[in-house]
Amino acid sequence: MSNPAPLRLGLEIEAVFVPKVSKEGEQPFEFAARLAQGYRGKPGMHANIKGHDQWEGDPYVEWEIVKDASLPRDPTNRTFPLEITSPILTFDENGAWREQVKAVFDHVQTTCDITTNKSCGFHVHLSPGDGSWDLEELKRICLAILYFEPAVLALLPVSRQNHHSFLGKNRFGNDNFHELSIESPEDADYLMRNPEDRTSAWNFKNLSEKYQSTGVTIEWKQPPGVTTAEECLAWTEFAVSFVQAARYWAGIGAEIEDSYTPDVEGLQKFVLERGECRGRNMAYLEPIFVGKTGTVSPVRSTQ
């Protein structure tokens, strides 16, 4: 496809925020409100904490600070495990979305230090800029995910490779893999996860009409928590390049094994050769592969 519409993005940044100036007795919802109110960028930022500062505006139009159930609370309230979610961003040619990400991190880092632990992750939502995913695109993306799974695991820290408390894999923990073809977006969702497991590495659940969401995104949930804009941009760049590399390759099913090895070296070649799109910045993609090689064997999820 020539000059396709740029992908739309949604980012979820799970982290532990440590205020540089502590306030006695400050609660998580109060800290979230303080952090949001100090932001002067566009689009804006708000706190959306259930039972306190609940947002009544349109969804996905501002940066949002929320509590995430997967992040254990610090009972001392000296640190605040929270999630910052982005508005809908466009992977545009001029890179304006990157400047928004940098502005958010610059603001947060003036107020607090950002740390992570094994509970923290970074998630990337992706959707076509001109509508919904085409079924053939979804099939190609699923195939690439499964083929390169051992290579992608090798890019991740050990805590994100086989730690089933936080994420699963899409093939070895999934009995659906050998039983279903993809004839609808719902099939893609069912194929790529266990029905009882919400922690699959790639989440297609948002494509289902039964799910209360945008209805158009696929979500990559494997990356570790990030503490800088550069880390955030690097993992996002990889996700975009990977999906772009798969979605337009009509012959992927018959050709991938002869074209690319299912290791880090083959994965890097795959995203570099086939993941080209307007707005891609190779400087952000390179750090993902530095010092990485080979594969990590997936193990069957015990969840």
Shared domain check, 223 and 109: no
Which one of 92, 124, 156 terminates a domain? 124
Shared domain check, 236 and 154: yes
Which one of 101, 124, 147 terminates a domain? 124
pLDDT at 185: 58
Shared domain check, 229 and 157: yes
pLDDT at 168: 46
Which one of 76, 105, 124 terminates a domain? 124
C-alpha–C-alpha distance, residues 31 and 109, integer Å: 14
Shared domain check, 95 and 28: yes
pLDDT at 289: 98
C-alpha–C-alpha distance, residues 91 and 9, integer Å: 7
pLDDT at 301: 52
Shared domain check, 49 and 196: no
pLDDT at 241: 97
C-alpha–C-alpha distance, residues 118 and 62, integer Å: 27
* H or E segment and range at residue 267: helix 264-274
Shared domain check, 135 and 163: yes
Task: Describe the crossing of helices 252-259 and 135-147 by its angle, rounded to 10 degrees.
Answer: 30
Is 266 inside a domain boundary?
A: yes
pLDDT at 163: 42
As averages over each run of 10 residues, the pLDDT of the chain (303 residues) reads: 79 98 91 95 93 82 94 92 97 95 98 95 94 90 93 93 48 46 59 58 82 77 97 98 96 96 98 94 94 86 49
pLDDT at 55: 82
pLDDT at 180: 46
Shared domain check, 202 and 60: no
pLDDT at 173: 45
Range of the domain at 58: 8-124
Helix (H, G, I), strand (E, B) or coil at 256: helix
Shared domain check, 141 and 120: no
Task: Indicate the number of domains in the chain.
Answer: 2
The four Cα atoms 92, 111, 63, 226 give a dihedral, to 10 degrees, of: 60
pLDDT at 193: 60
